Structure formats: structure tokens, C-alpha cells
Amino acid sequence: MIPQKITDGIHSYRAIDWDRELFDELVPLPEGTTYNAYLVEGSEKTALIDTIYPPKTAEFIAAIRKSGIGRIDYIVANHAEQDHSGSIPAVLELFPEAKVVTNAKCKRFIMDTLPVEREAFITIGDGHSLSLGDRTLQFLMTPWVHWPDTMVTYVPESRIAFTCDFLGAHLATTDLYADDEARVETAAKRYYAEIMMPYRSFSKEAVEKVDGLKLDFIAPSHGPVYARPPFILDLYRAWASDEPRPFVVIPYVSMYESTALMVAYLTDRLVERGIGVKPINVVDLDTGEFAMSLVEASTVVFASPTVLSGPHPGVAYAALLANVLGLKAKYAAVIGSFGWEGNLPEVIRSMLPKLNATFFDPVMVKGLPREAGFAELDRLADDIAAAHGVRPVAA
């Protein structure tokens, strides 16, 4: 770990995790990640903003020792999750006089999960500040991005905001700054979709709160630093908005090709009507890819064969994910096939209680789709097109 200067008196300490493939035993990490801590040195006091994931603690402490830091007065915990707070005990062992600065909720979470005593804390609230001499730490509460404890630390003299998980990206890179914006956008969108999208309304509020600051830098705790803050703020504003774009996602499974034929036919009919569409075979589902596809989708069509009177487990899992991710789609539908009986559409709808969408009439076929089934898919394509403001295709 090599400390990297961002601006005068502020350095990044980043542990790059090239090989980590899964986060929280749920979220795929196709490009690894980083865990970022930041050192802010004032004329009178020094503060460490967040710490490092526990498996990287030894590397982190070695870098601090090698840097010759004489003291750390404050350890700011923007968020209690252990990929950011996990090295606090080790830092306190190295600097026993340091105080952990955080809000009341974060303090409680840290005390629940780490061996940090109550006396070690300074509790702050929204709008509070702490002087380092010629620099000031200002604290902004940004709850539910993505825990109830999350906050942002702002240094107005250096025009930098430390946003912890908010605005981050799981991206293992030696680049200090987000210069490769296309690559960073993809990683940041995946991160938003998997972690922040369930709290979309809170993300909207937090974006405006951060955007109200005078900023030259945004420094998250995963991924590179943003030296052009509007880049990530504008992306988040679009992703968290209430307006989807005319785009259809079709999570599907096909056991004997019947459902696959229906998906292929519907895809072609939607393309004919000028509507973007993405079929996703969920047999080997990448939850991040699926979540990304839902960020701006206006319509989701669940396509499944009937298994034990309900959906295939892969499609059921996709429906449950869609429900908890809080997508903003305004329309939905169910298509599929059956052999003798089942209530596939009703079961899938019951898995989506949080989806505030209009459901089109389902299309279910017995066995292989034939003329009547294809005609129903034409009708569904017309319904989707009309909902998207596109005129039906003439016969």
C-alpha cells in the first residue's frame, strides 16, 4: 500500500483487493475492489477518515508506520460496516489517545461488532464540525445510503467530500482518479444497482446534499477518487430519478425451448416497434448484471416454464431480487408455458409486492407456442409499445 497525495495535507491509503470475487457472499466482484482510507492533516490535529477491511489491516498499519505519521487525533467512522470500520481497533492500539468520531447510530453498531469501548467515542450530529487547525471536518448525515448510520465528511478548505460507500465503485485499480470514465461508470452503475438502488429515494436526497457543497474532489471508500464531481453526481441523479427509459428486461429460463421461443419472438416484435430489450437467461444469473439492467428499465417481463405449479426457481429468484432492489419500472408482465396446470402468473406477482407497476395480461401457452400464442405475444408487444408511447405496427 502506497499513500497517494490528493491535495495538500490529504492522502489516500488504498488496499487494492485484486482477487476478491464476491462481496457479502452475494454480490459478484468481476473487477475486484478497493478499500480506501484517507488521512487529513491540519495545522493542529490529524484525522483518519474511515479504515480498512480486516484482512488488509496488517498492510494498512504497515503503511501508516512507514509513512512516519506522528499521531492520529481522530478516527472518523462514516459507516460501521467492517470493510470501513474493521481496522479501528488496530489504529487505536497504535494511537491509543485517538478518538473515534461518528454519529450515534454508527457508534452503537461499532460497539456491537468491534472491541471499541464507549469512552473512545466522540458523538456528532448533522451539521456539526471539528477543527484540525487550518482545516475543518464538517459532518452531513446521509442515512440509508445504504445503512441507517451513513454520513459524509466534508473539508471545505480543501473542497473535498469523503462519502464512504455512497458514490463508490467496486473496481480494483492503481488509478487514484476516475480518469477512465467509461470503465468507472460501468463499475459505479453495478455498485449503485446492487447496493444503493433499494434506497433510491435516500440516494436522491444525498445527491442533492453533496451537490450543494463546493467541491473539487469526491473521495469514496471503494474505487477511485472523482476529480470531476459532476461526473458521478449526474450519473446518480439519472439512476435515482423516478423516470425510467423505454427499455424492456426479460429474465427467463427455458427447459424444453417453449419459453425460449416465446422470448425470442417477443424480443423481435419489440425491436420492430423500436423498443430496446434485453433478454437475460437467469440459469447462471450474475446478480450484478441483472441489477444493472433494472436501473433504468421501464418494463420487466418474467418468462418461465411451469415447475411444480409455479415459476422455475431461477425466475423466482430473479423476481425476489427485483422486488428487494426497488426498481422503478412502471410496467410488468408474465409469459410462459405449462404442461397441464399451474398458476405461474399469480405466483410471480405474489413475489413482487413492492413493485408499483401496471401488469399487462399474461401470455401462457400449453406446450409449444403456436399461432394463437404468437398472436397473444403480438398483443403484448403492442401493449408495451403503447405504454411507451409507440404506435402499434400495422398488420
Task: Evaluate whether 395 touches 281 at the Cβ level (below 8 Å).
Answer: no
Domain residue ranges of the chain, discontinuous segments joined by +: 4-240, 245-386
| 227-252 tens-digit pLDDT | 999 999 999 999 999 999 999 999 99
What confidence tier does 22 reach under pLDDT thresholds 50, 70, 90? confident
Given this model, what pLDDT does residue 389 score?
A: 85
Given this model, what pLDDT does residue 269 score?
A: 97
- Give the C-alpha distances (Å, rounded to integers) separating 315 from 197, 238, 322: 20, 28, 10
pLDDT for 27 beyond 90: no
User: Looking up cell 408511447, which residue turns up?
Assistant: 389
Percentage of residues in the chain having pLDDT higher than 90: 92
| 168-226 tens-digit pLDDT | 999 999 999 999 999 999 999 999 999 999 999 999 999 999 999 999 999 999 999 99
Domain 4-240, CATH: 3.60.15.10
Take residue 43 and report the three cell numbers written for it. 495545522
Given this model, what pLDDT does residue 392 score?
A: 61
Given this model, what pLDDT does residue 17 score?
A: 96
Given this model, what pLDDT does residue 284 score?
A: 87
Q: pLDDT: is 172 or 340 the higher one?
A: 172
pLDDT for 395 beyond 70: no
Of 27-31, 323-327, 377-381, 387-391, minimum mean pLDDT range: 387-391
| 288-323 tens-digit pLDDT | 999 999 999 999 999 999 999 899 999 999 999 999
Q: Answer yes or no: CATH 3.40.50.360 is held by domain 245-386.
A: yes
pLDDT for 394 beyond 80: no
Give dist(CA 34, CA 121) in Å, integer: 26
For every residue of 171-185, DSSP letters joined together read: ---S-SB---HHHHH
Give dist(CA 3, CA 323) in Å, integer: 41
Given this model, what pLDDT does residue 25 score?
A: 81
In three-state secondary structure terms, 300 is strand
Q: Average pLDDT over the chain, rounded to whole?
A: 95
Mean pLDDT of 345-350: 96
Percentage of residues in the chain having pLDDT higher than 70: 99
Given this model, what pLDDT does residue 342 score?
A: 77
What confidence tier does 133 reach under pLDDT thresholds 50, 70, 90? very high
User: Looking up cell 446492487, which residue turns up?
Assistant: 194
Question: How many alpha carbons fall within 13 Å on the CB side of residue 72?
Answer: 29
Name which of 216, 219, 215 is nearest 176 in CA terms: 219
Which residues, at least 6 apart from 164, have a Cβ–Cβ distance to it below 8 Å?
Answer: 50, 78, 79, 84, 150, 151, 152, 220, 221
Mean pLDDT of 322-344: 93
What confidence tier does 276 reach under pLDDT thresholds 50, 70, 90? very high
| 134-163 tens-digit pLDDT | 999 999 999 999 999 999 999 999 999 999
| 85-114 tens-digit pLDDT | 999 999 999 999 999 999 999 999 999 999
Given this model, what pLDDT does residue 393 score?
A: 59
Take residue 211 and report the three cell numbers written for it. 451537490
Task: Evaluate whether 358 touches 325 at the Cβ level (below 8 Å).
Answer: no
